[in-house]
Amino acid sequence: MADTNSQESYIVAEGKKRGATRDVRPEAAHDKFYTVLRVHPGDAILNDNWHTNEVFAHAKDNFEGYTFAMRTLEAWGAAVENDHRGYYTAGGRVWVLDLEPSATKKKRLPPNT
């Protein structure tokens, strides 16, 4: 019987680099799920221009309210710092992801307006 803790890498099934091999950190070896409660710039001062607004809207639309496996977030380029905070780089900016641990995958939360 194979040891489930011996997994060292996996093939990315979603995200930008389909088919790429990624190393699995020990805490991501088994699916941990996180719901992204909010996407925001953190302490960064953002320029009010088309590019920043488009990238911010894109990050919010594609992350906020959704539940992801930790390995999926990491495959998409996000770095999970702890159970309540992650970082995602897009458009040359670092966006902060406020996270909440989830037992399983679930439907999208209603959007905050």
Sequence spans of domains, the chain: 28-102
Residue 18 CB partners (closer than 8 Å, separation 6+): 12
Q: What is the pLDDT of residues 50-107, one digit of tens each?
A: 988 999 999 999 999 999 988 888 888 888 999 999 999 888 889 999 999 988 777 7
Indicate the pTM of the whole model: 0.69
Residue 2 has what pLDDT? 46
